[in-house]
Structure formats: structure tokens, C-alpha cells
Structure 1
Amino acid sequence: MAHTAHWVPLNVKHHGGLMWQRFTAYHFAQHITQASLAEGELRHAAASFPIGFTQTASGWQAVALLGLRDEQNLIVDSQGRWRAAYVPAALRSHPFGLHAEYPEKLCIDQHSPFVVARLDAEPFFNQHGELASFPQQVLAFLQQREAGCQRVAQQLDALANAKLLTPWQPEGYQGSAPLYQIDEPAWKALSAEQMGLFWQLGAVPLVYAQLISQRQLGVLRSLLQRPTTSPPEANASRPLSEWQEAFSSEERYQWPDPS
């Protein structure tokens, strides 16, 4: 059942009696239309989803479009199976996350069904009241991802200041969040010197990931026509524990091994 994430920092006083479970399906993401992307996962995402840019109160971000209207995720079927080759890192880490007000603390989605008060799950804390080993690794994973998101924000800010972003209304898109794309004619008109500055900033891969990813709009539109209860595809039949390691070739975005 869909729910709204409510991030709270882990605290042994309030959460010492709770544990967490690894999810086995993506029902929790059925209402998530956009997933923010970090720098290191752009090329993986571009092969699976359209990438757009959004501007929020906290700055620019690159997002994977998972649906064409609010509260819609076409990538998750009715049985919670993920219907794409890549899962954004922001979703792989559920029920853990970060909150802007607590950048040094590991947070949990307090509304997640995978935060439980049972003894057969995995602990948040060790016997000393400190984060257990695996949650410590998750915190490092999320902080590395956040650093990648900040680099994307800086690159998009520079592109926006150079008037290289333009509003984007993909065919069939009915979401309430305004989208932006690379202004391709303006990008191609840059001088070699100007292009060199964006190379130095690391923004060129971001530009081409967004342009190339627009081909994936057809995938979303085709999923609108596909039954959500269709038999699982080849990659959807793998155990989820295998997926979480296989979905990224970048070590920094691999889900930590609990062993």
C-alpha cells in the first residue's frame, strides 16, 4: 500500500526496541513518480528511464521519470515487481534515508512497513547503543549518494545560469512538477572554450545522459498499455538480494553486503 515517507533520525531511546526488514517487493514505491539521481548513476538510469530536471526550494536535481502523472509509477507492477533493468539508489536503500536537517544521522521512514517491532528482523543498534554494522554502512552509502546529488545540483546550476536549460513537456506527461531539459541547439552552439568549462565542471556526461534518455519515453508509454499483472520478466524473477548488488557497477552505489 502506498504511503508518504516520513524521515526521522534514528535514536536508540525512541527506536531501540525496533528492527528492520529487507523488502522483497517494491510496493512501497508504487506512488513515487520521480526518483532523484546522483552523478554516478546517470548513465545507468539513462538506459532505463527518461531523465528530467526539476528545481526545488533546495536547488536543482536530476530525476528519473517513473510515471507520467502524479502518484503513478509505471515501473512497479501490481505484484511489486520492478519492470526495468536499473533501480535508482534512492529506492534501493529503503527504509533508510537522509534528511536535510540531519545530514550526519541515519534516518528511517517511520511509516515504512519494513520498520518492525519483532525479534526476527535486523537490529538498528548494537549492544552498546550504537548503530549496528550494517546501518553504519548504509549511512556511508547514503552520504556518498548525497554528495553525488550535490555535484549534479552544482552542474545544473551552472547550466541554468548559462541559459542551457529549457522547459520540457514530454508527450503524455501530466505531472504537476515542472520539468526542464537541455536546450540542445544552444548546447551545440557553445564555443570550444565554453564547452571546456563544462567539461571541467563534469557536466558534459549529465547533458548527454539527459538527451539520450529521452528515448525512454516510449518505454513509459508502452508500459501504460501493458497489463500490470503480466508474468515476470527475466530480470524480475531474480531474488531481490541479487538485484541490489547487480544494478550498479559503481562500487560507491552498491548496497552494502551485510556479511
Structure 2
Amino acid sequence: MVTQNLEAISVSKHGEYVWIRSHNYHYAKRFMYFPLVGAEFAKACLSFPVLFMRDDSEQLFPVALLGLKEDNNLFVNPQGQWVGDYIPAQLRTYPFRIARTASDDKMVLCFDPDSALVMPEKLARGEKYSRIFDQEGNLSPDMKNLLHFYEQTDHNRRVTYAACKVLSEMNLFMEWDLKVQDKANGVPIVIKGFYRIDEAALEALPLEQLADLKNRGILTFIYSHLISTNLIERLEKMLEHQGRQEAAAQQVEDVDLDVLFGEDDDMLKF
């Protein structure tokens, strides 16, 4: 599961802090996969594989598969631009996250303190930013909108987990070791830890159980996932393209200018 350090936002500590509105996704380059909620499936399934993983409590949850190697998101190019059609919702609001308190299960707005996108206002010269708190110590309008978004996301996350629990109880998940090719380097890659819907088990369900899944809206959830698994090949092609770009860049770096031009060449003398 994607994890990161989180620090709770408070007016006493972050009253003068701002959120830098980044125009690139360099920060997302390290995410090989990223959590999704069910409301995203319809768009996400057309852009990248939607698979499942186990969290720390062994509960299955959906993720967007964004790469085939650790710390390598194929959807972020060297300039930090996102090259896909859909961006996972919570990546768009990085470095913020919602956490729940252990004592009373309340939602707390947090941020990744390792990010360079949240800082004191006095250090944000020349940057486009939004204040976290207003002059009265209340969340700014932008942050209130962000909190509302996370409230909706948290609700949908609970619905999504409930759907995954139903599918688990029906024994519809199967482990899926991805076997792909790094064609640029000519080596196979095996990625473990992912799950998918067992299509044979799904087809064997009694009609009343299929109808129940349909009535709960889970059948659409399933089909979006199954459609998306065909995009594994797209990731292989993206990895091959990335490998060839890196090899070409390395060749340029390895050029010895003295050998290329010759130490005694008069061509570059003025």
C-alpha cells in the first residue's frame, strides 16, 4: 500500500503556511501504484490497469497500476507532465491526505511534511499558492473545498471497501502474479502482491448472487476492473519506450567531446 509520512494541520503550527499549486507531477514519479475509489473506475479503467492489493489489515482494496518497476510511474514524463488521460483523484491533491483519529474516528486533514509544496508564506516568493488558513484562523476557501473533496472521497472509500469485502466473501478474488517483459533491456519482470477477479468463479455464481451484485452496483465495478486488465500490454510498451529514451540519453552523456572533435581540431577556435 502507498504510505507516506503525515502531519496533521493545525492553526497553531501552520497558521502562516501556504500550499504551492504545482503545475507538474514530479512528486508522483515514485508511485508504481496508487489507491483508487470505486467512483473513479469508469474513467480509470480506460487509462491503466485497475488491480487489487491487501492493506495492513489484509483487506483488499483497488489500486491504479501506474508502472512495472518500483518507484517508477510510467505516466509521468521527464518534464513532470502526466501523459495519461486520467489522473487518480488523490494524486491531484497531493501533498494532502485525510487520516482518522484512533480515539474518536474523526477525520483530520494532514499533509506530507517531506513535500516542498507546503511551506511558510514568507518562503513562497514568486510561487502561485493558496493560504491554508485565513486571517481569522479558519481554513481558507481553497482548503475548505479540499476538505469537502476528501469527505466525499472518504465516504466513497468506505463504500469501495464494503464492495471488496462482499467480493472476498464470495471468493471471487484470485492472486495474480504479473509476468511482463522489459523489452528495452530484454529481461522478464514478475510482480507479486496483486489480485484480480476470478472470471471462472464469477461465471459460476448462481443467478441470484449475480443479480445481488448488479443491484448493489458492484457488477459494474467488476467489469471496469476486468476491462482494464487488458492495459497491461500498454504499460509494457510504455516501459519499452522509456527504456529506449533512457538509453539514448545515456549515449549522449557518454560522448567524449575530445574524441568527437579531436584535441587539435581548429574548427572551434575563434
TM-score category by the smaller chain?
A: 0.7 to 0.9
Normalised TM-score (structure 1) = 0.82
Residue 146 and residue 39 in structure 1: after superposition, are their counterparts in 2 closer, same or farther (change >3 A)? same
Distance in 2 separating the partners of 1:175 and 1:9: 34
Counterpart contact for 1:5–1:110, Cα < 8 Å:
no
Q: Give the CA deviation at 1:69.
A: 2.4
2:137 counterpart (129, 135, 138): 129
Q: Give the CA deviation at 1:90.
A: 1.3
Single out whichever of 51-60 and 24-33 deviates more from structure 2: 51-60
Counterpart of 1:190? 205
> Which structure 1 residue ranges, 5 or more long, are not aligned?
231-259
Counterpart of 2:112? 109
> Which structure 2 residue ranges, 5 or more long, are not aligned?
181-188, 246-270
Counterpart of 1:83? 83
Distance in 2 separating the partners of 1:81 and 1:157: 36
Counterpart of 1:141? 149
Structural RMSD (CA): 1.9
Q: Given the alignment of the two structures, is residue 158 of structure 1 paired with residue 194 of structure 2, yes or no? A: no
Q: Give the CA deviation at 1:100.
A: 3.3
Larger strand proportion of the pair: 2
Partner-residue secondary structure (3-state), 2:107: coil
Single out whichever of 165-174 and 141-150 deviates more from structure 2: 165-174
Counterpart contact for 1:77–1:229, Cα < 8 Å:
no
Q: Give the CA deviation at 1:109.
A: 1.6
Partner-residue secondary structure (3-state), 1:54: strand
Structure with bigger RCO (C-alpha 8 Å, 6+ apart): 1
Question: Higher Cα Rg: structure 1 or 2?
Answer: 2
Counterpart contact for 1:78–1:229, Cα < 8 Å:
no
Counterpart of 2:196? 181
Partner-residue secondary structure (3-state), 1:52: strand
Normalised TM-score (structure 2) = 0.79
| 1:162 alignment partner AA | M
Counterpart of 1:217? 232
Counterpart of 2:253? none
Q: Give the CA deviation at 1:42.
A: 0.4
Partner-residue secondary structure (3-state), 1:142: helix
Counterpart of 2:74? 74
Distance in 2 separating the partners of 1:174 and 1:145: 32
